[in-house]
Every structure is written in structure tokens, then in C-alpha cells.
Amino acid sequence: MTDDAILARIREIFEENFEIAPERVTLDANLFEDLDLDSIDAVDLAIKLQEMTGRRIKPEEFKQVRTVADVVGAVNSLLAA
């Protein structure tokens, strides 16, 4: 899966689950400051990413995620595992 394909799917997840317009979901957007996610939303996002990849996300790894680019990187890591 390419980074562009991952980003497109992440945009869908944000729109469907958090009602965030896809154009706001840019690689440099901060999940908490720019996209207004809270800790519960972050857990929901992790669950959606697990569903998307079929792999479990380790909580300690996901705590480092701050931007959409970090999410793309996390998905890449999961898919490569």
C-alpha cells in the first residue's frame, strides 16, 4: 500500500468517524491541535487502523503519534511487520 493510498484511507476514517473534512487531513496536521482529537478519539483511531491493517497496534508505539504523517508511518510499520 502506498503512502498516498494510506493517506486517502486515513482521510476516509477521519471523515466517517470524526466528521473532519478530508482537506483538513494533511500530512503535517497535528491530531490534537489541528484536528481537535482527544484521547478517546485517539483510541478510536487506533482501533480503526487495526481494522485497516489486520494487525495490533502496541499502545506504547501509538503514544508517539502526533501528526497525520506519524499515522501514515505507523500504518506502514504495521503493514511491513
How confident is residue 4, by pLDDT bands cut at 50, 70 and 90?
A: very high
Q: What is the mean pLDDT of the chain?
A: 93
pTM for this predicted structure: 0.90
Tens of pLDDT, residues 34-55 = 999 998 999 999 999 999 999 9
DSSP string, the chain: --HHHHHHHHHHHHHHHH---GGG--TT-BTTTTS---HHHHHHHHHHHHHHHSSPPPHHHHTT--BHHHHHHHHHHHHH-
Distance CA(24)–CA(50), nearest Å, equals 23
Place of cell 501514515: 72
Distance CA(38)–CA(52), nearest Å, equals 21
